[in-house]
Amino acid sequence: MTAPVELFLDVADPRLAHAMTERGAYTFEREGAFYVLRKRFERAGYQLELFREGNTIKGSCACPDFQFRGTESGNPCKHLWIAAEFLGLVAFPAVAPTDPSPRKA
């Protein structure tokens, strides 16, 4: 698993907006030492680690976004945000931030 990054609520991060709008489309469960986040009705999912280190929440995810962009920028992917909310480690703002980035089809 890739080195973990710190999760901090940055309303300018488009991944947070994606997580807030898509969180209902996922299921979340523990499998051994890891958590797995899957889109509903799909078998495949992303394996992730999420843990607290003092007052800091850290995590890593096996998704391509985290592997190629998250580790470089230090920003968590939407899967980490969704998992952190499922576990009660973060509370999303009441309204999703506006996502300035276009979505890939």
Predicted confidence at residue 105, as pLDDT, reads 45
Contacts of 101 (CB under 8 A, 6+ apart): 14
- Specify if 39 maps to a domain: yes
Q: Is residue 80 a part of any domain in this protein? A: yes
Residue-number span of the structural domain to which 60 is assigned? 5-86
d(CA 102, CA 64): 18
Residue 100 falls within a domain, yes or no?
Answer: no
At residue 81, the 3 state secondary structure works out as helix
For residue 70, tell me if it sits in a domain.
yes
Spatial separation of the C-alpha atoms in residues 25 and 93, rounded to whole Å: 18
Predicted confidence at residue 5, as pLDDT, reads: 67
Q: What is the pLDDT of residue 98?
A: 56
- Look at residue 45 and tell me if it is in a domain: yes
Q: The tokens of 33 are what?
A: 């030492």
Domain count, the chain: 1
CB 59 within 8 A of CB 48: yes
pLDDT averages per 10-residue partition of the chain, 105 residues: 65 73 79 80 83 83 85 80 83 59 51
Question: Is 48:37 a contact under the CB 8 Å cutoff?
Answer: yes
Considering the domain boundaries, does residue 102 fall inside one? no
